[in-house]
Amino acid sequence: MDDRPGDDQQLPPPSLWPVGFAVGIVCLLVGLIVSWWVAAVGAAIAVVFGFLWAREVATGGTPRLAATGEEPVPDAPAVPAHEGEAAMPEPEPGERFPRSRFLEGTTLALGGVIGAIVTLPAAGLAVLPGFTKQKGHEVDLGPVEDFEENKWKVVTFLQDPSQGEVSRRTAFVRNNGLLDGEPSFTIISNRCAHLGCPVQTGGPLFQKQEKTIKTANGDVRITPTLPAAGFICPCHGGAYDQEGNRIAGPPVRGLDRYQFSIVNGKLILGSTYSVAHVDGSGKSAKITSYELAGPGQHVDGIESWMYPIQAPH
């Protein structure tokens, strides 16, 4: 085996850039689940360390050590041709960047461009919807006159008619009368705050008085009810009062509520929001609204700190 010094295998030095790039990718993937800002930090780390890594590979990085552990000798005088091994020819004038290194960098850049063209569209379609503000569909529930003052109604409707019956929802609606000259409504979702089961009224349904009206969202069914005992979840025994406050069972908060508006004399549902507890009742109720949370998640108090950060929606 030839042991000439010139044939010693050159090993790349250890580098932290790949480690930082991997950490950035991990943060990005975790951020897709927990929060957009974690994903943004991860993406920034991955971009910075990826650039530094690619630059190191393209430029050759720091001086490399020989396998024998010998330090490279910078600016060593050339060995004369008549002594020892044949000397390497000096590079031609003007050749400052070796062609092999240029081809290596070009290949990496071209591979990166091709990878971005193939990956970014698919990744954008898969990831971006989770970080854009998903607005709920406005729902026309019909004329305000169909909701008598201080009377409860069970209203079923299609939240998105283009999706058909899969988007059918139920809400408990009560007209509270006028508040500062404007109509006031209590509109409660029937999704249990425990596991999301459908909540029922704790009282009779007057199905003989049920009526169906046609609106811009299709058929809306309105059934009078008298929830004397509030609202009850038949699945696990959750119980709520007439304002949607939890009074018994495993739910961790009150029932969610709908925003609403009155447009041309019609009751229009907006987005859903979460409620921890309602103080008071009817139009005098004091409500602190929170961003819509999933079933089983606290929205206030120290308990809310102990739950994972909610995914963006």
pLDDT of residue 65: 46
CA angle in degrees (0–180, nearest 5) for 47-103-109: 25
The reply to whether the predicted model has a pTM over 0.75 is no
The backbone region for 301, taken as left when phi is positive above 0, alpha when psi lies in -120 to 50, beta otherwise, is left
CATH for the stretch 10-61+98-132: 1.10.287
pLDDT of residue 162: 83
Give me the residues of the chain with pLDDT under 50, please.
1, 6-7, 63-68, 312-313
pLDDT of residue 310: 55
Instruction: Say how far apart CA 217 and CA 172 lie, in whole Å.
Output: 18
End-to-end, the C-alpha distance of the chain in Å comes to: 65
Tell me the residue type at 127: V
pLDDT of residue 132: 62
Q: How far is C-alpha 91 from the chain's CA centre?
A: 56
C-alpha torsion angle, residues 30, 31, 33, 34 (rounded to 10): 110
Instruction: Say how far apart CA 15 and CA 109 lie, in whole Å.
Output: 20
Of 184, 180, 173, 170, nearest to 147 (Cα)? Answer: 173
Domain boundary assignment for the chain: 10-61+98-132, 139-306
Partners of 274 in the β-ladder: 290
pLDDT of residue 313: 46
pLDDT of residue 108: 77
Instruction: Say how far apart CA 179 and CA 194 lie, in whole Å.
Output: 32
CATH for the stretch 139-306: 2.102.10.10
pLDDT of residue 67: 47
Q: Would you tell me how many other CB atoms lie within 10 Å of the CB of residue 245?
A: 20
pLDDT of residue 181: 86
Can 10-61+98-132 and 139-306 be said to share one CATH topology? no
